Amino acid sequence: MRLALGRLACCAALGILAVAVITPADDLTAVEQEFAAGDYGDAVNTLRAIVSQNANDAPAHYWLGRCYYEERDYNDAVTQLQQATTLDATSSVYHQWLGRAYGEKADLEHSFLLARQVKKEFEAAVQADPSNIQARRDLEDYLLEAPWIVGGSKDDALAQVNEITKLDPIQGHLARADYDAHLGKDDDAATEYNQALAMKPQTADPYFEVADYYAKKRNVTALQQAVAQADAADPKDPRLTFYHGEARVISDTDLTLAEEELKSYIARSPQRSDWPSHSRARYWLGALYEKQGNRMAASEQYRAALQLDPQNKAARQALDSLEKSTR
């Protein structure tokens, strides 16, 4: 998942020292299975039963926060993740996800106060576990995107890139590409992405990150290459149906197959913040129908995309453009 702060207090004092406890393994297994399937409501019910028995259960509060985050209930996500970090302040992951929840809430409320909390939590995550690369990348994104008044700093972002490179060369290239792209250095970013892919990552995620970049640039050749390499790395990854469909729409080839792939992705994949959203898939279906001259179907998909995610700027612009052209 990549954080976008442009989608721009700490834990409330409890007055007592809370003691974190560990959720029974069977309970966590059930929660994680429900979460992985996208059954967030069921997971919430399971977790509420756990915390009703023991309010000091840090893992239960963490997973509750994760479920609320996926449901885009960022107020409750913040509340639960604050509780988790209060019960276990040493957990890097708890701080990282609290930072992400603060980021979404800050963006919705346009709050500089909350934005400062985002940085504070990402820094706490990195301090708690300096090897947490995703926390460092979240902090890098914040430093690149946030205005200086709330702690944004290109120099500090570059420092994170250098630390990430020491930990993992592939992630280092990806982090530096992200840094270059933010500075408008597209040629340098492309070089870094190529160097990352040349190292042949064993999982699909790095390839998908590169594919996301080239999809935004509408670079069909580079996009198709990244998706093909992801397919070779992990042909069973459920996200491949989305990326193949997206690439076909952008390249205006095999649109019938692209329609099947995008519809399959929507029907079979859970809504997850670290996967391509169903809103994004609906947008590409709309673009596909628009290419085919089916304005009504395109409009329906753009509206469906916006209903799922009102912040989907691409869908908003496409719908506005479509409506203007029919007046």
81-99 per-position pLDDT tens digit: 999 999 999 999 999 999 9
Instruction: Using DSSP, state whether 71 is helix, strand or coil.
Output: coil
8 A C-beta contact, residue 63 and residue 27: no
Single-letter residue type at 185:
K
For residue 49, is it within any domain? Answer: yes
For residue 133, is it within any domain? Answer: no
Tokens 């990326």 found at: 243
Of 125, 156, 171, which residue constitutes the final position of a domain? 125
8 A C-beta contact, residue 290 and residue 322: yes
Partners of 21 in beta bridges = 57
> With 60 as the cut, is the pLDDT of residue 1 above it?
no
Smallest CA-to-CA distance from 107 within 3, 1, 6, 2 is with 6
111 φ/ψ angles, rounded to the nearest 5 degrees: -105, 115
Tokens 């992985």 found at: 36
Tens of pLDDT, residues 291-315: 999 999 999 999 999 999 999 999 9
What whole-number distance in Å separates Cα of residue 192 and Cα of residue 289? 35
Of 104, 125, 146, which residue constitutes the final position of a domain? 125
Of 125, 153, 169, which residue constitutes the final position of a domain? 125
Q: Which long-range contacts (CB under 8 A, 24 or more apart) does 258-262 make?
A: 258/284, 258/288, 259/285, 259/288, 262/288
8 A C-beta contact, residue 161 and residue 180: no
243 φ/ψ angles, rounded to the nearest 5 degrees: -65, -35
Tokens 């179907």 found at: 297
Tokens 């996208």 found at: 38
Tens of pLDDT, residues 147-206: 999 999 999 999 999 999 999 999 999 999 999 999 999 999 999 999 999 999 999 999
pTM as predicted = 0.88
For residue 311, is it within any domain? Answer: yes
Partners of 293 in beta bridges = none
What whole-number distance in Å separates Cα of residue 63 and Cα of residue 68? 9
Tens of pLDDT, residues 52-81: 999 999 999 999 999 999 999 999 999 999
For residue 195, is it within any domain? Answer: no
Assign residue 36 the CATH number of its domain. Answer: 1.25.40.10
Smallest CA-to-CA distance from 243 within 274, 205, 212, 206 is with 212
Residue count (the chain): 327
The string over 291-306, giving b where at least 16 C-beta atoms fall within 10 Å of a residue's C-beta and e elsewhere, is eeeeeeebbebbebbb
Integer-rounded Cα radius of gyration of the chain: 21
> With 80 as the cut, is the pLDDT of residue 4 above it?
no
Q: Which residue has the higher pLDDT, 140 or 30?
A: 140
For residue 171, is it within any domain? Answer: no
What whole-number distance in Å separates Cα of residue 102 and Cα of residue 82? 10
What range defines the domain where residue 62 resides? 1-125
Partners of 57 in beta bridges = 21
What whole-number distance in Å separates Cα of residue 58 and Cα of residue 39? 21
For residue 164, is it within any domain? Answer: no
**In angstroms, what CA-CA distances link 244 with 96, 118, 261?**
31, 34, 7
Tokens 């990806």 found at: 174
For residue 158, is it within any domain? Answer: no
> With 90 as the cut, is the pLDDT of residue 18 above it?
no
For residue 168, is it within any domain? Answer: no
234: buried, middle or exposed (CB in 10 Å: 19+, 13-18, 0-12)? middle
Number of domains in the chain: 2
> With 70 as the cut, is the pLDDT of residue 323 above it?
yes
